[in-house]
Amino acid sequence: MWLVAVSLMFGQSVQPKPFPIPPDIKTDSGLVPLSHIEVNADLLAKAIRQRLAFATENGRVSLDDFLFTQLPLGDLGDGTLVKARWGSRYCGATGNCPFWLYILRNGRYEQILGTPSPKGAVPPYDNDVVGWAFSSARIIPGLIIMSNAGGGHQFLIRFSLRDGRFVEDGCDDLTAKNPDAEGNWFDASQVNIAPCGK
């Protein structure tokens, strides 16, 4: 149970910070294999192939290595959130995998999640957003990515839509209250929460 602190000086209630993990957060089980996509599959595969040129053999990208879901993005229309499948060669040892958010614009898929790559940059891109779970706001376009930061820390990174891209606008650092037990990162009673970097 959360406690409500009361400020006597100002006579106002100070609400405690709500648990930042939304109830609809999803892992791989909440996504669909990209090989099942029915519209513009070749265009999307081309975009992913260009993104992963450093890690492919003979330029080949297997859509079975990726998962996706469609997200409504307000004025941008529908977007396609793509995540590398956990355990694929594109994921790291901590379980983090790259996420990309694509919109179809002028006949090609454009990646709009995170800071854009420097002009002329070649892969691997250092600014890919990585994580293992996600949630999206359905009314106000927004996105949350949970990322394993190592050392018993999980980062819950919030992204919001600005000037046609989803950019980071906040981060919470979650640590287990009992690091020796196998807990649930999605359970408010089992984690401590602080701003990232504090």
Domain that holds residue 24: 19-195
Dist. CA 83–CA 48, nearest whole Å: 10
Does 186 reside within a domain? yes
Does 7 reside within a domain? no
Total domain count for the chain? 1
Does 72 reside within a domain? yes
Does 12 reside within a domain? no
Residue reference for tokens 């400020």: 7
Q: What confidence score (pLDDT) does residue 147 get?
A: 93
| Terminal Cα-to-Cα distance of the chain (whole angstroms) | 24
Contact between residue 137 and residue 143 where contact means Cβ atoms under 8 Å apart = yes
Q: What pLDDT tens digit does each residue of the chain (198 aa) get?
A: 333 333 333 344 444 455 567 778 888 888 888 888 777 778 888 888 777 755 555 556 677 888 999 888 888 888 999 998 888 888 888 889 989 999 988 888 888 997 665 555 544 455 688 899 998 865 566 899 999 988 888 999 999 888 888 888 889 999 988 877 667 888 888 889 899 876
Contact between residue 86 and residue 29 where contact means Cβ atoms under 8 Å apart = no
In 10 A of CB 48, how many CB atoms? 23
What is the layout of strands, in order, in the sheet containing 133-137? Answer: 133-137, 142-150, 153-162, 165-176, 191-195
Does 3 reside within a domain? no
pTM equals 0.79
Dist. CA 72–CA 110, nearest whole Å: 15
Does 9 reside within a domain? no
Contact between residue 175 and residue 188 where contact means Cβ atoms under 8 Å apart = no
Does 8 reside within a domain? no
Does 107 reside within a domain? yes
Contact between residue 73 and residue 161 where contact means Cβ atoms under 8 Å apart = yes
Q: CA neighbours within 13 Å on the CB side: how many for 165? A: 13
